Amino acid sequence: MRVFKGEVTALPPDKSISHRAALIGALSEGTTEITNFSGGFDNQSTLGVLKDTGISLRQEETDGAYGRRIRRVVMESPGLWGFQAPAVTLNCNNSGSTMRMFAGILAAQPFESVLVGDSSLMKRPMKRVADPLRLMGADIELSPSGTAPVRIRGTKELKAVEYRLPVPSAQVKSLVAFAALHAEGESKIIEKLRSRDHTEVMLGLETIEMHGERIIVVPGRKRIEAKPFLVPADPSAACFIVALGLLARGSEIIIRDVCLNPTRAAFLDILIDAGAGIVVENSRVIGGETIGDILVTNNSGIEPLTISDPQLVAFVIDEIPMLAVLSAFATGRFELHNAEELRTKESDRIDALAMNLKSLGFECEQYPDGFNVKGRNTVPQGMTGIESFDDHRIAMSFAIAGCATGCELDITDIGVVGVSFPNFFDILRELEA
């Protein structure tokens, strides 16, 4: 059994905040400086499409906390309509966030553009992107199956909208907000279940709680003044290191400067409620976001995890793969409901988790919105093949289980971890005692 000890100061910058900082910077008037921008493939895809639509930006390395080098992005933009017609199709690679959120901006630009991606992204549903933008007056064309390529014939005459999100989705909420910033008049976005709120926090949008719903008010055609952004460490990446510390007995790990936004760090509450040895220290607020340090010690077991509350599912949708694998390995049990959204991620994550856990001897039962793990019949001897499905979260979840328990796993396409966590294996090597 391996033991992991140490301090993690080089966790990847938050993906969600990095995407939004770049897009909001491109919509602003003046010079935007983003400190600690993510170098992951997805965030670099966002910078790529911004460059292809005429946004002037550069990346540079600078000194950061704990003596490490960090990435800074500096961009210049004339404001809401500062984009230019691209000479090429806009390649979002594997980044659904790039494709969906940037579509909201392109819908308001007076030119035609086409968004494409890799083989995985080209299969993901985009009707949820097209529907609200069509209501606002944009001309959006999808493939016959409702997927990319997304062809957008934008217009400067977008109409304000009152849009009720059919499912909790921070990406769809954000794309509607970005489009609404260009519309004539005030728009309202209504969500029954709260999703991650970085867009409204970073834009300073008014939010109203009424009759069990949350209303985000977006003023149209209001000048956005450029301002600096500081990107904290990614809590979704922190989840993998937390799981490592909980699975490997005798481990003690501290993870520095993690984003603790309540819509992003609910996985910590789940684990603490299950008895995990987790303490949050040095909590403070920077730029509207709560940041703190996470101390993880394997000093006790955890109870089996059951995740079913729809609001909680919305908050931990990206952490579910790691939570499921952690619970299966630590307790032999796990149960998930109301998470049908997982079937439309980079892979069908419900099927991917169940299939791989079965190959490791776990008893699994699938249903449309989740699955459960009932126990483990056998423990495979020797090397076991794990299919990543070209999905970074599936690959890393099983890599953590293998590292922490000594289980020998052969994971396909392991390089996909670079989508969100380029230094994943470097940190694991540094922590191994």
Query: Does the bond joining 149 to the residue before it have cis omega, within 30 degrees of 0?
Result: yes
In the annotation, is 413 catalytic? no
89-105 burial by CB neighbour count: b if 16+ within 10 A, else e?
ebbbbbbbbbbbbbbbb
**In Å, how far from its chain's centre is CA 230?**
17
| Active-site residue (options: 42, 234, 293, 318) | 318
Residue with tokens 């003044």: 225
Return the residue matching tokens 């670099």. 44
CA distance 60 to 212: 45
CB 179 within 8 A of CB 158: yes
Residues 246, 271: contact at Cβ < 8 Å?
A: yes
Q: Note whether 278 and 268 are within 8 A (CB).
A: yes
Residues with Cβ within 8 Å of 297's Cβ and at least 6 positions away in sequence, in order, are 245, 251, 252, 277
Of 222, 226, 202, nearest to 30 by C-alpha is 226
Beta bridge partners, 189, equal: 163, 216
Positions marked catalytic = 318
